[in-house]
Structure 1
């Protein structure tokens, strides 16, 4: 069975963590794909690196390749937003082991975003490790909700409101 491919991108604030994660991934049996940056430049624009990492995940998954992604920034917020602009990507900002587990189990997130200035190197590495090791639960309610997001992404049409949201119910 081939190693899971993990696409990685960051902003300048996440460069050291990204480099650490790329090495860690290789040491732990993953196939890391580093989308940059490769040198520190405080004026770099992070979207190019995070969009490329997310697009790599989407392209791999479109052809049946087992692939996930990691985007890293100072807070992880902008990097998550960038990754989520790629069709088919569900990127989750994680800040604990619990949020890493829930991102995979409930949301089938395929890209994880972490904030390099928010946590220790050990904690962030653990969040990524947990994210990569946690499978999607496949529960019907989660599948249904993810399908609603995917449908909206493709059509721009909002799902119907449930009975519980109707004022006249």
Structure 2
């Protein structure tokens, strides 16, 4: 499996660690940068490329996932989620790492290099990479709603229990 990596300067050390860890565990890591420390770098440059590569690989039928890394992971997640068809989850625990795949079929995760130890982050990524999507109907339905909105910009219909309530009433 290919694993595309992108980060900013705050995630550079973890990215370097992951390149070796992934290779040692039988994955094919692809580094989208940065390649040197620059405190003024711009994470979208690298995270968009990593997410775009995952989308292209998957469209070509390849087994591919991605990891984007920053100080908090927030901006990197936002960048990856701008790529059409990509669902990137911010991961901060073992449960969120597993659920990103099991429930949301996320193809990319984002981690905060300043939020956790190297060992914790490596474990989150390991769990994400091995967890399969459950395929449960409710999760497939929800992902379908997201994909439909992404393509059409038409909101999904309200459930019967919400009709006549809230701002759409």
- Aligned residue-pair number: 165
1:90 equivalenced with 2:87 (yes/no): yes
Matching residue within 15, 20, 23 for 2:20? 23
TM-score, normalising length: structure 2: 0.96
1:81 equivalenced with 2:75 (yes/no): no
Query: 1:1-169 to 2 correspondence within 5 Å?
Result: 4-167=1-164
TM-score, normalising length: structure 1: 0.96
Unpaired runs of 5+ residues, structure 2, are: none
* Local SS of the residue matching 1:33: strand
Moved more, 4-13 or 159-168: 159-168
Query: How far did residue 29 of structure 1 move?
Result: 0.3
Unpaired runs of 5+ residues, structure 1, are: none
Query: How far did residue 166 of structure 1 move?
Result: 1.8
CA–CA distance in structure 2, aligned partners of residues 115 and 151 of structure 1: 30
Query: How far did residue 128 of structure 1 move?
Result: 0.2
* Local SS of the residue matching 1:104: helix
Moved over 3 A (4+): none
Coordinate RMSD, CA, aligned: 0.7
